[in-house]
Structure formats: C-alpha cells, structure tokens
Amino acid sequence: MSEKFDVIVVGAGASGNAAAYTLAKSGLKVLQLERGETPGAKNVQGAILYADALERIIPDFREEAPLERHIIEQRMWVMDERSYVGSHFRSDDFNKPPYNRYTIIRAKFDKWFSDKVKEAGALVICETTVKELLRDDKGKVIGVEVDRADGRIYADLVILADGVNSTLARKAGFRPELDPKHVALAVKEIHFLPKDVIESRFNIQDEEGVVIEMMGKITHGMMGTGFLYTNSDSISVGVGCLLSDFMEQKITPYQLLEQLKAHPSVAPMLEGGEMKEYAAHLIPEGGYHAIPQIYGDGWLIVGDSGMFVNAVHREGSNLAMTTGRIAAETAIELSRAGKAMSAANLALYRQRLDDSFVIKDLKKYKDLPDLLDTNKQFLTTYPELLNRSAYAMLKVDGEDKRSKQKDIYRGFRAERSLFGLLGDAYKLWRAFR
C-alpha cells in the first residue's frame, strides 16, 4: 500500500471504470478502489446503456458484455390516477446492428466492466473505504488514505468517481453539501417473468426491448418521473422524486412505488412477476447549475460526483462514461508530455467537457429543473386535464364534438386563467428554445 501510482481512481461505477480502463490501457500505473464487496454491488440504475459512449472506450464490447435487450421502442406517458396520454416511437432502424441502446443489470455489467479494467492492467481493490485525500503543504492532492494498516497511498492524480454523495469531495471542500433540490431519491424493483411472457406482453421478439418513461400525477405533485424497462427475463420498474419534495411530503418512496405498480396501466405489465430485488439510490438532478468545481491541483471529479446527469432526457450512464474517459485522456496527454497534474494543466478536462455533448446538453436545458420544481401545475393540473380531455373526446355519447371542445377549453380556463396558460406556454418555450 506504500507504492506510488500514476493515478488512483476512487469508485468502480460507470465513470470510475471508464477512467480506470482508459488509463490502464495506455500503460499508466493505475489503482482503483471500491468500498463495495464487488464492483457494482452499490450501484443502482434503471438501467440503460448508451452504446456510443462505451463503444468509444471498448469498441468490441457487444461481443462479450452482459447485455439484456436492445431498445427498439420508446414510450412516453403523461398520467393521471386512472389513465395516461402517451406517445410511442418504434423504429426498425433501432433493430439493426450495431444497436444504439440496451437495458442492462448493473451488478452483472459492472462486474464485467471491472474485469476489463483488470485485464487492461489496473490494480482493483474492493471492500476498501477511502477515508480522506492526502495533501501536501500547498494543498495539492498527492494520494489517499484508506481504512487499512499503512493505508496511505500516493499518486500524481486522484480521480473521484465515488458517487453523488462524494464524501471525499465534500470533506476536501471541493464541493458544497448536497442541496436536496439537486438530487432525486429513486427506488426500483426487478420483477422476474418468463422471457416469452415479456415478449408477448410488449409485442417484441428475441432480444428486443421497450422503455417506458412516465410523468404526471403518479408523483403527487413532486418533481420526478417513473420508468419501466424490459430486461431479458425481468422488468425493472421504479420512480424517483427530488429529495426536497420527499422531505416536505408525508408519502414515502416505497409507497409511491407501490401506487405506481398498482396503476391500471402498469399493473397488467407486472402481473405474475416475482419481485426479487429492491434498491434505492440518490441521483443528481440539479443539471448545469449544480456542477461543482471538477478539477484542481492533483484531482478530477467525474460521473455522478460531478452531478453529470441529464435529467431532462433521462441520460446518466453515457455522461458518466464520457466524463470518465475524457478525464483519463486528459491525464494521459499530460503524462506523455511530462506536464504536472496541476490545476492549470488539468483545466483542459473542463475545456474538453465544454466542447462535448455533456456540457452542451446540460447547458441547453439548464433552467428546466427549476421551472418544473416551481410550477407544479406541469406535473398535476395539466396531466389531469390532458387525460380528462382525451376521455371526453373519445367517448361517444351523443354529444357533438364542438360542444365537447368548448367544455374542454372551459375546463382549462377554470384551472388556469388565459394569462396563466399563455405564461406557462412561454415558460416551456423559453426552457426548450
């Protein structure tokens, strides 16, 4: 443990594995530390794998990675208590290799990814907690101290990939305490069903998959969404809301998930399944405004630790792997040029992120999280009105459609004034422009 490494990576999730693999593959001496019993043991996600991000790291990953189903159909549901108004996009273009998105089981996938990290030459040590960062008298990070005898380990660079809570970054003063408005608490269950039942139920064939994203009254006015993903022989179902909303509401995450599973549109999809796994996890939701300082003298921050999640488009693993890869590539370039891992040199990491889709996407929708959090009508009033309107127009009862249209308009005006409706439309336009 008294050895010195070129880079120490803290965490064995998607971002940590991407960084450690890229570094080790280049020939650098890499140590990866994980506090869980095995890589992936503490990682929770829906989970969707975005092929492009991993392909840039391991081009032939499809030949051996434990993938569940490639996604050919995306559904979006806006729900009230009894129904939903939705849209489906299904394309045969997504059914042609190389496939673009997959469902995965994180425990299986992370173990595979960690094995690739070891094959690349990194030393991976699990069941080891990093207690604090080691710093010299000028404040530069020079290593870590772990919960083992003689646990001071030195390195030219430490990459923090230790999750949204990132105790190390907070203790070191690199980022503030978590704001409850910037993180969601998500709960998930995995229900096992025969493979043929899943395929029949979702109108798919072998290895094809469906993703359903849900919003509306299922979250009781709280800022959040639900999801349902098809795996090979199981279904992942879950829901998450801002931690600040859970702190104000009396409903628990478990109760919210039970109500989602009981919804008339969701229950038939889970019928007959055997629930074998339950997990809860904090997810960064603050977007662009929540990104902390992500580089400094001898350190970088990647993945959830840097709040890199695109909550608007429900993307996380691709941002995690991309930030991990770019951090590693920055370190490799500096090492080969014989440059110090100083804050001035490591600023290149942030510059490259600014030029990537990661920051561009987060910056594009930087105001949307706050907009939805402060305008609950988008999650309560409008979903209910949309569903009520669809029911009225589709119900054939002898009333003429023009009269129904007037009733629908009056219903919207009763809930929101004309000024309020126009104001809400303008707010959305501003957020998505």
The arithmetic mean of pLDDT across residues 55-81, rounded, is: 97
Q: Given this model, what pLDDT does residue 170 score? A: 92
pTM: 0.93
Mean of the per-residue pLDDT values for the chain?
93
pLDDT digits (tens, 9 = 90+) for 335-370: 999 999 999 999 999 999 999 999 999 999 888 877
**Closest by Cα among 348, 342, 413, 426 to 138:** 342
Place of tokens 């009230």: 80
**Closest by Cα among 423, 432, 426 to 368:** 432
pLDDT digits (tens, 9 = 90+) for 213-269: 999 999 998 999 999 999 999 999 999 999 999 999 888 999 999 999 999 999 999
The residues that bridge with 144 in the sheet, in sequence order, are 133, 153
**Measured distance CA(194)–CA(190) in Å, rounded:** 13
Identify the residue with better confidence: 146 or 314: 146
pLDDT digits (tens, 9 = 90+) for 306-343: 999 998 888 999 999 999 999 999 999 999 999 999 99
Least confident piece of the model among 38-47, 244-253, 399-408:
38-47
Predicted confidence (pLDDT) at residue 150 exceeds the cutoff of 90: no
Predicted confidence (pLDDT) at residue 430 exceeds the cutoff of 90: no
**Closest by Cα among 118, 142, 121 to 132:** 142
Predicted confidence (pLDDT) at residue 42 exceeds the cutoff of 70: no
What token pair was written down for 261? 């599973």
The arithmetic mean of pLDDT across residues 190-201, rounded, is: 97
Q: Given this model, what pLDDT does residue 390 score? A: 93
Among left, alpha and beta (phi > 0; psi -120 to 50; other), residue 27 is: left
pLDDT digits (tens, 9 = 90+) for 28-38: 999 999 998 87
Q: Tell the burial category of 18 from Cβ atoms under 10 Å away from its Cβ (0-12, 13-18, 19+).
A: buried
For the ranges 112-121, 142-151, 416-425, the maximum mean pLDDT occurs at 112-121
The residues that bridge with 345 in the sheet, in sequence order, are none
Place of tokens 């990093």: 130
The arithmetic mean of pLDDT across residues 392-397, rounded, is: 92
Contact 392, 412 (CB under 8 A): no
Predicted confidence (pLDDT) at residue 57 exceeds the cutoff of 90: yes
Q: Given this model, what pLDDT does residue 230 score? A: 97
pLDDT digits (tens, 9 = 90+) for 279-316: 888 999 989 999 999 999 999 999 999 999 998 888 99
What's phi and psi for 187, nearest 5 deg? -120, 145
Place of tokens 């959040």: 224
